[in-house]
Structure 1
Amino acid sequence: MSYEIKTLETFNPFESLKYEQASTDQILDFRIIDFKLLCSNIKPAKTKTYERKDFDLFYADDFFVKNYNTMVQKFLIEIYPKTQKNCFVVKLKSNPSLTYLKVNINFLDNFKYYPNLKFDILQNIYKVMIKQKFLILRLDKNLFDKIDDFILSIQKNPSIKEIELEIAKGVDKIEHKSDEIIYHRDVNEECFDENISYDEGSYCKPIEKNELLFEYIYRILGKEGRNLRGEILHLNPIAFFDNPFIIKDESIYTEELEDRIKYFSANYGFLNKDRSGYSVTNNLKLSQVGLKTTGSIKTNTDENINLEIANFDINDDAVKSGIVNVQASDIKVNGSIGATKLYGRNISIKGLTHAKSEIFAQDIFITTHKGTLQADTVYIKNLENGIVIAKNVFVENCMGGKIEAENIYICNLLADNILYPKKNLIITNNIKFKNNIVISPLDFINNKSNSETENLTNLSLKTKSKLDNIISQMQNYYDYLIKNQIKIIKLQKTEKLNAIDMKFSNLYRDIIKKYNHLSVLYKKLIKLKYHIDAKLNFLDEMVYNVKIYIKAENIGEDNFLKFYPKTNTELELKHQINLKDYEKVLYLEKGQQASYIKSSHDYSESDIEEIKIIFEKLEKDNS
């Protein structure tokens, strides 16, 4: 009995075919007439059936992924007795997430073109998709045209046996991208590590103004996807960090970009974090500086950095001895300084400095100084065998010290001191014994001898000799140029010059160049000669401008004032300071034939007060 063709609706055409096949010996097959999509959602609860004509809605990714929890296709099929064998094989290819589908069509050797080939290709593609539980949805919009093009190709060239086509695309999921924290500077960075050099720690790397400190890169929320079986592709769970950067004040500013926030330093200083948040501070407080604790502290002394070091243990230095050194604009030390180096603009040391310490500052206060110091303005309570080279120096008690400065003010000049005043020396309370006051333009502390004067004198003579030679050459060139001026003017008006005139014209231009070159050199040498002679004149006259004010009532023995005029250390004019010099000013007077030391009661107290005022701020700030 012949099988009667049936048309029916089914969710599973292959199950329906199997059921019908059981009732007949004829080999059956089915063709897909139509299909629709049944969609349902839980929250909010809804169901809807989409006809094939509405499938274009699902090309929108969000509509395909988000609108429904489940998608099932229902097919209208026709089951019929199979009358022909397939002359091609259809295979599907997919990526692991089943969001991308390709078909490979391989034609068998017995293949011959027939008019209904396109329909059969599509039917076989649909069947394989149904069998492998893929939705016939979101098909490539050019699929039918590509099949048409392929059929035309095999009609023209029957040797073509295979084609691969893209069938459909689902929606790939986009995983969450976690937020990201980038530390360009870390507040938890170790200040000193034994594995790095002592002068490469974080205290040697202060933050520059407008330096990038850290970045917070925003999280990017992912999107769920849906594969071509209608299954939701859920996102993997991920931990987000959140922005950890709470800014304390305006010392840090931000730049907000599309994908991140950047944090920059508004100031020069060090990164700090406390309960209120992050900041860049110019205040640094430490209990000790040393090789094993901090390493060196190196900052730009032109920037405002306030460094405070406090160590009240009398048996331990606040700044340890060794290769570690300290460099900051403002340094306050409550404690002692070991055998090391300090560099600063304003320094206050309420403690003791080691004999091998070296300190360089603009303004400095020291309780007890035993080392070497170079500064502009200095206030020392106790100078004990220390060395001071400065512009202005105030010392309350001076024992065994060496001081070279323009203005020196000493309350108690005790014993074994050597003073090198360049302008004024004031001694107010006591002068004990064995003190020497040396007035000389030479720099004795730095061991400069009168070779400086000799060198300057020799340089002055050489410069004068060169100038005389240049002046002579310039005069010769000038005479030549003036003598031939009329001739060269006439030649310049001539259109064509013969060889002799051309040679003369070139020579004249060459002489002008040489004259101009010598003129430039002359100006440089004249300037150099002026500075050399001014320096020599200063060295010669300096000793006559120094004044020594003796305000001390108590004067001991073996205290000498020594003048060395004209930078000659062999010519010494010496005066032993005694009680008769009380309330006097001593200075060197230049006579017609010889110089001599003179003393006088004729001076103004305001001159002394003007010098004392220089030190008032240092004294007040450290009282």
Structure 2
Amino acid sequence: MALFGSSKKTPALKKVRPTVVRTQNVAKELFKIAKSYEMEAELLDFNLLDVQTYTRIYDGSKETEWEEISTEESRNFNDEALLLNPHFQIKQTYEIEVFSKKPAKDDHYRDLKLAVGANATKCKVYLSIAQGSKVEYIPHFEEDLLGMINTKKVRAGILVYMFDSMVEGVASQISARVRIAEKLEFEQSETHLIAEGYEPTATINDALILHYENTKELNDNERVDYASRGFIQSVQKGDLLIEYVKAKMGKPGRNCRGEYMEPKEPVIANEPNFKVSDNIKVVEDEDSIKYYADENGYIAFEDNTYVIKKDVDVDAISFKTTGSIDSGVDSDVNITVKEADAIKDAIGSGMKVEVTEIEIDGNVGSNASVVAKKANIGGQTHKTARITADELEINVHKGEAYGKNVHITRLEHGVVEGENVDVAQALGGVIRGQEVVIGICASHVKATATRKIEIKKMLGSENIFTIDPLLSRDVQNSVEDNEEKIKEIKLRLRELKKEIEKYTTLVKNGTPAFLEIKKRLLHYQKNKVKMPESFVKKYKQFQRMQERLKELKEEFTLKQEKLNLLTTRTASFQDNILDARIINHDKWIGYNEIKFKLVDPPMELVYKPLEGSDDKIFGLVELSDGDYAIRPLDE
């Protein structure tokens, strides 16, 4: 057992006597010599004394002799046909001198970190110089660098003097940089191509790609919508639906180890055995067969045939059956939903449907959304359902409905907004449109229009009927934007007026002096006498004041014209309000209100028809004093 404080001497490193060997496998030879000295192969180094390159054509049937080619021949060996011949073979024999590695302190290139690597096929070989590497120039640096590169290539099993015609140029370039700098530090890592064989072309196996099934990739912040399961795959004319990629045999190569790289036989397992309908266009070339949609619709697979269809019938749209359907309003897809049971939902809770046309025999459930160009709902809508369609018909409506031409059979406290809105029976709710027609009006109805509200039969009270030129959000935004611009221009006009007054006074007061200076300058000019600098300066100063006054007046005129235009535009928003009408063909019952909203001046006028009154037509009239009032009219 060792005592405390005892020391043990580190055995001296063994040294290998310089040994010259000929071998085709340098790594194996280094390992064998290291083993004989009972040391690690990493402690050995070698010099490359000679390289012999041999070639032959051998097909395995008859033994052929190897023929040696010179270093010059190997450097210029570029016979592609021969190199890509599978029976052509290359080998090299190396004469090396093996010895122990120098201690780091004795190695001039200890701080030059070089590495030789290759891509996966070994067809491209690169020299890498690590960032921070340092080297000092010596006269034979370029020769040493080439030697180091060749040594590393041999260690890696890469052929020397073959496929490396560019290596001398790389070594020369680096050497020149070191020679100029005398002592060079590489601030960034560098990679240089030093050998390039013949890269093989990969074999392509056949493949069948169903492009119509491609789904949108989600961002990290997006959640998966499990309700959207692609019950139908909508397509647009010109969409690539299916693609068959034909199998293609790859091309051979030869890497920088001299190895022939034979391509694999292609696998053919996906040849199309289906048919397509007339509305699917087939385009074939040497690489693929592509199938394109020739019209809008959705793609279906029936009887081993792909077809594009427009109409689809389903019993119901729900999370369990179809999931949400989103084919787009321009897809030409038309859906009929047949579920008509009053206690079931034809469109289930939370479902989203977007198609060109939809016919729903039954109900639309809670939080459901339907978007189409044309929609017809035979049942009722839940109070949280939302329906949007240009042409829209709903039997019983409790939710939200938006469209251009909207017809509601019975409105039960729902919301309706459109251009032309026709409600057969209104039992409370909100109606907004350019023109609104109500067949039977019960109580608690709020109807707003830009042009006309017409009630055919009045059965209730507590109703509010409003004419509002700014009903449209776009018009509201336009008016607000217009008013903001008017404020800005009025402010600028006040500023301009002050500046014009200031410069007008300056010009007026300075005119006599200006005329006198002008007279003197003409006198100097006529007598060819140099004009005093102070006179010229004052003359130009007055000219600038005149120009500035002219610019201010021009800007004032333009701003005033712009103000007039904007003011006229604001007034135009309510131009038609005097033509707007609220018409009740029946007697007034209970408490009701008629309102007209003015834009300029911004105000709201209210009229309360007397109960039992027979007044039928109401409009806005301008009084003699410029005020407005709501009055019963004859027409």
Please indicate the TM-score interval, normalised by the length of the shorter structure.
0.5 to 0.7
> Given the alignment of the two structures, is residue 261 of structure 1 paired with residue 289 of structure 2, yes or no?
yes
Q: Closer, same or farther in 2 for the Cα pair 1:505/1:268, shift >3 Å? A: farther
Q: Is the alpha carbon distance of 1:204 and 1:381 closer, same or farther for their aligned partners in structure 2, counting shifts above 3 Å?
A: same
1:523-549 CA-partner distances (Å, limit 9, x unpaired): 68855763455335534x655322233
Q: Which residue is 2:377 aligned to?
A: 349
Number of aligned pairs? Answer: 431
C-alpha contact (below 8 Å) 1:467/1:522 kept by paired residues? no
Cα deviations across residues 165-222 of structure 1 (Å, max 9, x unaligned)? xxxxxxxxx9997643222223999xxxx99324765479844443322212335699
Unaligned runs of 5+ in 2: 1-58, 69-84, 95-200, 217-221, 252-263, 523-529
2:446 pairs with 418, 424, 435, which one?
A: 418
CA 303–102 in structure 1, closer or farther in 2 if over 3 Å, else same? closer
Of the two, which has the highest radius of gyration? 1
Q: Summarize the Cα distance change of 1:98–1:437 in structure 2 as closer, same or farther, 3 Å threshold.
A: closer
Q: Which residue of 1 aligns with 2:460?
A: 433
2:282 paired with 1:247: no
Percent identity over paired residues: 21
Could you tell me how far apart the structure 2 residues matched to 1:257 and 1:498 are?
87
Residue equivalent to 1:113: none
1:245–1:440 CA distance, 2 compared to 1 (3 A): same
Aligned to 1:46: none
Question: Residue type of the partner of 1:263?
Answer: Y
Deviates more, 1:335-344 or 1:176-185: 176-185
Q: Residues 187 and 272 of structure 1 are in contact (CA less than 8 Å); yes or no, is this contact kept in structure 2?
A: no
Residue 591 (structure 1) aligned with residue 627 (structure 2): no
**Conserved? CA contact 1:470–1:522, under 8 Å:** no
Whether the 8 Å contact between 1:563 and 1:588 is mirrored in structure 2 is no
Whether the 8 Å contact between 1:474 and 1:518 is mirrored in structure 2 is: yes
* Cα deviation, residue 595, structure 1: 4.7
Q: 1:240 to 1:358 in 2, by over 3 A?
A: closer
Q: Find the counterpart in structure 1 of residue 394 from structure 2.
A: 366
Q: For 2:286, what is the secondary structure of its paired residue?
A: coil
Q: Deviation digits for residues 466-496 of structure 1, max 9, x if unmatched?
A: 2343466589889999999xx9xx9xxxxx9
Distance 1:536 1:104, change over 3 A: closer
**Partner residue in 2 for 1:535:** 570
Q: Where do 1:202-221 residues align within 5 Å?
A: 202=230, 206-219=234-247
Deviation at 1:392, TM superposition (A): 1.0
Match status 1:546 vs 2:580: yes
By how many angstroms is 1:379 displaced? 0.7
Offset of residue 326 of structure 1: 2.8
Change (3 A) 1:497 1:478: farther
The CA distance in 2 between the partners of 1:455 and 1:333, in whole Å, is: 42
Among 460, 464, 469, the residue aligned to 2:495:
469
Partner of 1:326: 353
User: Retained in 2: the 8 A contact 1:320–1:340?
Assistant: yes
Do 2:233 and 2:299's aligned partners in 1 also have CA atoms closer than 8 Å?
no
Give me the TM-score of the superposition, normalised by structure 2.
0.52
1:576 equivalent among 607, 610, 625: 610
Q: Give, in whole Å, the separation in 1 of the partners of 2:250 and 2:478.
A: 79
Q: Which amino acid aligns with 1:246?
A: K
Structure 1 unaligned blocks of 5 or more: 1-64, 66-70, 73-87, 92-96, 107-173, 224-234, 491-495, 604-623
Distance 1:175 1:514, change over 3 A: same
By how many angstroms is 1:409 displaced? 1.4
Q: Which residue of 2 aligns with 1:563?
A: 595
Once the two structures are superposed, what CA deviation does each residue of 1:200-245 show, in whole Å capped at 9, x if it has no partner? 654798444433222123356999xxxxxxxxxxx99976543234
Rate the CA distance shift 1:544–1:98 in 2: closer, same or farther, 3 A: closer
Instruction: Output the amino acid matched with 1:572.
Output: V
Q: Residues of 2 paired with 1:287 and 1:177: CA distance?
A: 45
Residues 204, 276 of structure 1: CA spacing in aligned structure 2 closer, same or farther, 3 A cutoff? closer
Offset of residue 295 of structure 1 = 4.3
Seen in structure 2, the aligned counterparts of structure 1 residues 237 and 415 have a Cα distance that, compared at 3 Å, is closer
Superposition deviation, residue 334 in structure 1: 2.2
Deviation digits for residues 336-384 of structure 1 (CA, Å, limit 9, x no counterpart): 1132333333222222111122233322111111112222221111111
Q: Which residue of 2 aligns with 1:271?
A: 299
CA distance in 2, matches of 1:455, 1:438: 27
Partners of 1:199 and 1:513 in 2: CA distance: 68
Q: What SS does the aligned partner of 1:434 have?
A: coil
Name the SS for the 1:312 alignment partner.
Answer: coil
Kept in 1, the 8 Å contact 2:376–2:394? The answer is: yes
Alignment of structure 1 residues 95-494 onto 2, 5 Å:
179-186=206-213, 196-198=224-226, 201-202=229-230, 206-219=234-247, 240-250=269-279, 252-275=280-303, 277-322=305-350, 324-337=351-364, 338-428=366-456, 430-441=457-468, 460-470=486-496
Counterparts of 2:287 and 2:547 in 1: how far apart (Å)?
67
Task: Give the secondary structure class of the aligned counterpart of 2:614.
Answer: helix
| TM-score for both structures, normalised by structure 1 | 0.53
Q: What secondary structure sits across from 1:544 in the alignment?
A: helix
Query: Does the C-alpha gap of structure 1 residues 505 and 334 become closer, same or farther in structure 2, counting only changes over 3 Å?
Result: farther
Over 3 Å counting, the alpha-carbon distance change for 1:264 and 1:569 in structure 2 is same
Question: AA paired with 1:465?
Answer: L
Q: Shift of the alpha carbon at 1:424?
A: 1.7
Preserved CA contact (<8 Å) 1:216 1:243: yes
- Paired residue secondary structure (2:340): coil
Measure how far apart 1:303 and its partner are: 5.0
Per the alignment, residue 28 of structure 1 pairs with none
2:422, 2:437 within 8 Å by CA — same for their partners in 1? yes
CA apart distance, 1:559: 5.0
**Structure 1 counterpart SS, 2:570:** helix
**Structure 1: how far apart are the matches of 2:413 and 2:305?**
48
